[in-house]
Amino acid sequence: MFPWQQFARDPNKRNQIALRDPQGEVFTWQQVSEQISHYAKLLQSHGVTSHSGVALCGKNDITILFLYLATIHLGARVLPLNPAFPVEKRQQYCIAANSQFYYASDSLSLTGCQRILLDADVTVEQREAEVRSDSKKFLVPATMTLTSGSSGVPKAVVHHVQAHLANAKGVCALMQFNANGSWLFSLPLYHVSGQGIVWRWLLAGAILHFPQTDFYASVGQATHVSLVPTQLQRLLAYWQAHRISKETLKTRHILLGGAQIPTTLTSQLTKWGVQSYSGYGMTEMASTVFAKRSDEKIGVGQPLLGREYRLVEGEIWLKGAGLALGYWQNGGIVPLTNTQGWFATKDKGIWRDNELVILGRIDNMFISGGENIQPEEIEQVIQQWQFVKQVFVLPKADPEFGQRPVAFIEFSQPFSDALVEALTIWLADKLEKFKHPVDYFPLHTQRLQQGAIKISRTTLKLVLQDLLGTHE
């Protein structure tokens, strides 16, 4: 029995508030269960079965949430997609993930995917949802979450329900989240961190709050919140500008992750009576793996309940609670563990002062405002412009976003501001906004190669440091 079914059948729980939508309307657990059943029937009316894949594309709203849970209820696989993706990318990911059905909050349709229509006939009786035993429901492939690998091509990480619940258990224990609490649905469902919020809500039987129009006012209405450092920086500015006092806030716990977490930010929360937690997580582990109460140290604490780790030549290896079934590839699941049974993260870390300190990626990926950015992906797009001969993308430090992308470019004509402006205009609809380089520099190919076959990224990093006047 899924958590929402269990709560709906409990006479002491069914009439308690389960969630509050963006308009402030509340749903009890009984109503949540009924809505999930309704959407499960809707999916079945389109032909969705336990063998199907369903892609959902949109920002967090009540429909996306209920379709997500209804797909899982049927034993099918759900693939949340970023609505910022252009239609070509959506098409590519749906095909790769074998998602035959597709719902989008916008009007874009995909070739070869049946569109889920909300006004379809839903009188069909549920069949597939009732034939699986409880144990099988929790262990079949349920969610497919995109993550970027070293190649820059996102892979779909497959989890079953039990992995999500196992991950949630450790976070709830650390942050004292129980049925008396509420968690703000502050991160998108197409990120594993957003899904983590949903499964903590379901495990605890608490209240899920959707943000209302004023996001940062909504933060103060929930006891627990997940934020990336960029959001925390803006929240603190909001509270200061609006002269918010701790007596007016319900917020007591904030979980931070997605980037290096500045201690200068976390220390400011104490004046509002809020405890922050610094965490480290992976899509492949269903969200948070390490976390601690934030302090003056930059580490991320110790592994949460059920997680295991090893440091092998500086690389972080993980297994235990939350570990994915594998990556979806060619219609099946490819294990992500190595021959020793561990997931090698490609993150570098050290154990210092009885906690894990994250040093960064072994490959080239970097994080900007909580978003993973793979330089090669941006380079591949820029390279398509007719006047670009060669391009390299690197991160530069940014006080608000942690890091932002910058580009070194060799044009087929002399480097100029006019060419950069023309490229920027061309690039506008080719990449998500957060992937657009914020600065462009000329790439002096002959000088940098100096007889080598290709330009070294290490050399370029030194050039960038000279240009910006920063040195590590």
Nearest to 409 by CA among 427, 435, 388: 388
Mean pLDDT of 15-23: 97
pLDDT given at position 449: 60
pLDDT given at position 267: 87
Nearest to 19 by CA among 61, 67, 68: 61
pLDDT given at position 411: 92
Nearest to 90 by CA among 81, 98, 99: 81
Higher-pLDDT residue of 108, 322: 322
Mean pLDDT of 251-280: 87
Nearest to 391 by CA among 375, 414, 409: 409
pLDDT given at position 153: 62
pLDDT given at position 127: 47
Give residue 131's pLDDT band: very low, low, confident or very high (50, 70, 90). very low
Mean pLDDT of 420-444: 94
Mean pLDDT lowest among 89-93, 133-137, 454-458: 133-137
CB 261 within 8 A of CB 294: yes
Give residue 150's pLDDT band: very low, low, confident or very high (50, 70, 90). very low
- How large is the angle between the packed helices 29-45 and 62-73, nearest 10 degrees? 70
pLDDT given at position 11: 97
CB 53 within 8 A of CB 77: yes
Residue 137 pLDDT > 90:
no
Residues in the chain: 472
DSSP 405-442: EEEEEEESS---HHHHHHHHHHHTTTS-GGGS-SEEEE
pLDDT given at position 285: 98
Q: How many whole angstroms separate alpha carbon 358 and alpha carbon 36?
A: 39
Beta bridge partners of 279: 291
Number of helices (H), then strands (E), belonging to the chain: the values are: 15, 26
- Helix ranges, 113-253 (H): 128-131, 134-139, 161-175, 192-204, 215-219, 229-241
The rounded percent of the chain whose pLDDT value lies above 70 is: 93
pLDDT given at position 230: 72
Nearest to 257 by CA among 184, 309, 162, 191: 191
Residue 126 pLDDT > 60:
no
137 CB contacts (<8 Å, ≥6 apart)? 2, 75, 161
Nearest to 238 by CA among 260, 218, 263: 218
Residue 134 pLDDT > 70:
no
Instruction: Give pLDDT tens digits for 54-87.
Output: 999 999 999 999 999 999 999 999 999 999 888 9
Average pLDDT, the chain: 90
Domain 366-468 top-level CATH class: alpha beta
Mean pLDDT lowest among 5-19, 208-222, 428-442, 448-462: 448-462
Q: How many whole angstroms separate alpha carbon 5 and alpha carbon 212?
A: 27
Residue 241 pLDDT > 70:
yes
Assign domain 3-360 one CATH number from 3.40.1160.10, 3.30.360.10, 3.40.50.12780, 3.40.630.30.
3.40.50.12780
Q: Are 3-360 and 366-468 equal in CATH topology?
A: no
CB 404 within 8 A of CB 347: no
pLDDT given at position 47: 96
Domain edges within the chain? 3-360, 366-468
Residue 95 pLDDT > 90:
yes
Give residue 130's pLDDT band: very low, low, confident or very high (50, 70, 90). very low
CA 264 to chain centre: 24
Residue 44 pLDDT > 80:
yes
Residue 471 pLDDT > 80:
no
pLDDT given at position 372: 82
Give residue 260's pLDDT band: very low, low, confident or very high (50, 70, 90). low
Mean pLDDT of 364-391: 86
Decide: residue 421, CB within 10 A, 0-12 exposed, 13-18 middle, 19+ buried: exposed
pLDDT given at position 376: 80
Residue 361 pLDDT > 80:
no
pLDDT given at position 198: 98
Higher-pLDDT residue of 348, 8: 8
Instruction: Give pLDDT tens digits for 284-338.
Output: 999 999 999 999 888 999 999 999 999 999 899 999 999 999 999 999 999 999 9
Residue 454 pLDDT > 90:
no
**Cα dihedral across residues 374, 377, 380, 383: positive or negative:** negative
Mean pLDDT lowest among 208-212, 363-367, 430-434, 459-463: 363-367
pLDDT given at position 133: 43
pLDDT given at position 450: 53
Nearest to 276 by CA among 305, 333, 235: 235
